[in-house]
Amino acid sequence: LVQPCEPIGTPMIAPRHRRRLLFVGLLCSLHVWCSLTSFAVLPEGEDSAVDSLRPALKVIAGLLLVIAVVILWSSVVVVHQGEVVLVERFGCFHSRLDPGLRFVTPFICSVRWRGSVREQVLDIPPQGCITSDNAPLKADAVVYWRVTDPIKHVYE
């Protein structure tokens, strides 16, 4: 059985707290973006000191929005029916994700293996051979197989 490795020097964060931290981070990014865009759309005036900063603030607000979308996009994993996903955290086995919409910690967790646990068919083409009494023979085979334990399949 594969044992997950513990990160060195970092405490483990419970999954519900991890989701909360991600949500709080996204809310902070959204708040900063709204603040910068509201500051960037101030009425223009002749003596306004903001006029020189307006283009830079729009660029910063756009970059923050793009970063928030990338972080959100990288945390979502869709596992289709009949598939299993193995997740690694810092290069060590962390969890097995079953079908559904799942969330992982972005930039820390990575998908190691995505595979099917359905029965698969391997058709071996017919092969001709001659028996010891010189009779011609054609051998054909069909192999049905499926992965029953994905963790052993990948790590052992």
Tell me what the mean pLDDT of segment 42-60 comes to: 66
Instruction: Tell me the pLDDT band of 8, cut-offs 50, 70 and 90.
Output: very low
Return the number of other C-beta atoms located less than 10 Å from residue 2's C-beta: 12
pLDDT tops 90 at residue 30: no
> What is the structure's pLDDT at 47?
47
Residue 137, phi then psi, degrees to nearest 5: -145, 140
- What pairs with residue 100 in β-bridges? 79
pTM: 0.59
Tell me what the mean pLDDT of segment 130-147 comes to: 92
